[in-house]
A and B are shown apart, each in its own frame.
Chain A
Amino acid sequence: GAVVSQHPSWVICKSGTSVKIECRSLDFQATTMFWYRQFPKQSLMLMATSNEGSKATYEQGVEKDKFLINHASLTLSTLTVTSAHPEDSSFYICSAPERRTSSGKAGEQYFGPGTRLTVT
């Protein structure tokens, strides 16, 4: 099946620095990708929808200036956590949906393995 990769798989950074996380669809094109955040023992929280060639759509309460999203190509979306602080430490996960069939049926989504960010 289709594969979504993330890089890096884990990162430790100092407070105040910025961190970039990459999400790639390896064998299919994704005009849309989704970014989630997951704190320990909690469910995934949708942060934003990344759209190729246009601005990302952020969920309510997510600061767009802090979490910069760029969808530069049909196979790559990046999430940059700017001026990271310890409370930004989390598991960040991206996903890309399978293209709908010609009949418009919903397909499955392919999730990346996640990136664990620790801000010290």
Chain B
Amino acid sequence: DAKTTQPNSMESNEEEPVHLPCNHSTISGTDYIHWYRQLPSQGPEYVIHGLTSNVNNRMASLAIAEDRKSSTLILHRATLRDAAVYYCMTGGATNKLIFGTGTLLAVQP
């Protein structure tokens, strides 16, 4: 499974957009890009995933670079409940997810 690189932490203000970057330069052609988040003392929560095209859902948008070596998770309007550790992962057919260190997002009121 490809390794990903994310900033250790980021800060945002409430109701402002947040762009969380992720590098996955060794991603294989069939690997999906997955984003999960984890609140303290809880199991991770699915956010979004994609393969090549940009994806949108009710939680976020995923912008995938044309060469697929990086992606950006976009929270359009951060709320205090979005404060969490965000994990970017790439995964193949086995569905096995290997978690990296993630990005700790702090949201200021």
Contacts and interface: CB of A to CB of B under 8 A. Distances in A.
A pairs with B: yes
A4 B34 CA distance: 19
Chain A interface secondary structure, helix, strand, loop or mixed? strand
A75 to B, nearest CB: 17
A108 B43 CA distance: 14
Given A109-B46, A110-B46, A112-B43, A43 B101 contact: yes
Q: How large, as a class, is the contact surface on chain A?
A: 20 to 34
Given A106-B91, A114-B41, A44 B46 contact: no
Contacts, number: 57
B61 to A, nearest CB: 16
Nearest to B32: A106
A78 interface: no
B22 to A, nearest CB: 14
B40 to A, nearest CB: 10
Interface of A: 4, 6, 32, 34, 36, 43-46, 49, 91, 93, 95, 97, 105-114, 116
